[in-house]
Amino acid sequence: MPDRQLRFLSSDDVVRALPMPEAVEAMKRAYARLSAGEAVVPPRPQFPLADPPGHALVMPAYVPAEGRLGVKIVTLVPANRDRGLPLIQALVVLVDTTTASPLAVMDGAALTAIRTGAGSGAATDLLARADASRAAIFGAGVQGRTQLEAVCAVRPIARARVFDPDAAAARAFADAMSRRLGVAVEPAASAAEAMAGADVVCTATTASEPVFDDADVAPGTHINAVGAYRPPSREVPAATVCRATVVVDARASALEEAGDIVVPIREGLIGPDHIAAEIGEIVAGTKPGRRSEEEITFFKSVGVAVQDVAAAGVALANAERLGLGTEVGL
């Protein structure tokens, strides 16, 4: 029987093997395949965890054209912050469907952070004004960092502000990202201060209610919202959603899971047809992107497993080329 080798990639390996510009392009391809019906993505089961409370998700996807199957198991436990552990922990398993052999196991938290940021980077590249140069980030955690990194990868961002209820976390975010990106990043004392002059807004929080006021959203703004992934929770005001061109990663999951969209629908403010497009349709050119300088565009993502498969494929290929990770015989 032939030897079978499985490559394990740590968090550091994933970060080195999945540079943001490559991740952004991988997300565009993944979104296009999803919208074209070229990926099999079953509904992801979600279930609550007890003692301490949290949530777990299982996210499978199959991309026949790439010969890849992937499954991610992800947990979110707020009490981990007090334990010195990450809020989000995950593992991704990547399988070669030609041989049905497992190829890799990798840290899913790092991969999730990068691919989620890259998804917003893809949306920003397709929907934000070409001259967008000022960003506002809500949430000073790991996800907020990759959101800013991705936006800077596709637009000439010269200044950014970050708002977080934890002022110390916002200051640390600003210092670290200023050094990392070579961009002037400042902590904001309020949501309104963060929004002032922002061309691109990213929300990556655990909030259950909107994190900024609709009145602070200027014409021409592009918004990426990635934090809320359950129907009761939302980060963006309903009034903003109503006056924005709404683009999602996947219609079915957005209408089921995205509180930013589900809540306004339940309140009778919009209908399901308010979703203008899936981002993959814009990648493919079957739906338009931004149509005017004054248009407010809103990309809502709850995350889809095809992103994980695409990101894991890039990470594995680069890891093999760079000699990263640890090989284990099966």
Break the chain into its structural domains and give their ranges. 5-111+306-329, 129-303
Q: Which fold has domain 5-111+306-329?
A: ornithine cyclodeaminase, domain 1 (3.30.1780)
Q: Report whether 74 contacts 88 (CB < 8 A).
A: yes
Among the options 28, 72, 287, 300, which is catalytic? 72
- Edge-to-edge strand list for the sheet holding 46-49: 46-49, 54-63, 68-76, 88-96, 101-107, 5-9, 326-329
Query: Phi, psi at residue 186, to the nearest 5°?
Result: -125, 145
Structure tokens at 63: 């991309």
> 73: buried, middle or exposed (CB in 10 Å: 19+, 13-18, 0-12)?
middle
pLDDT at 267: 96
Q: Is there a catalytic annotation at residue 72?
A: yes
Note the pTM of the prediction, 2 decimals: 0.93
In Å, what is the CA distance from 117 to each residue of 23, 154, 218, 319, 321?
9, 12, 23, 20, 24
- DSSP secondary structure of 191-203: HHHHHTT-SEEEE
Structure tokens at 61: 């996807």
Q: How far is CA 31 from the centre of its chain?
A: 12
- CATH class of this structure's domain 129-303: alpha beta
Q: How far is CA 201 from the centre of its chain?
A: 13
In Å, what is the CA distance from 306 to each residue of 16, 48, 231, 297, 303?
21, 23, 21, 23, 9
Alpha-carbon span 3 to 268, nearest angstrom: 59
Q: Report whether 95 contacts 101 (CB < 8 A).
A: yes
pLDDT tens digit at each of 330 positions of the chain: 467 789 999 999 999 999 999 999 999 999 999 999 999 999 888 889 988 899 899 999 999 999 999 999 999 898 988 898 888 899 999 999 999 999 999 999 999 999 999 999 999 999 999 999 999 999 999 999 999 999 999 999 999 999 999 999 999 999 999 999 999 999 999 999 999 999 999 999 988 999 999 999 999 999 999 987 778 889 999 999 999 999 999 999 999 999 999 999 999 999 999 999 999 999 999 999 999 999 999 999 999 999 999 999 999 999 999 999 999 988
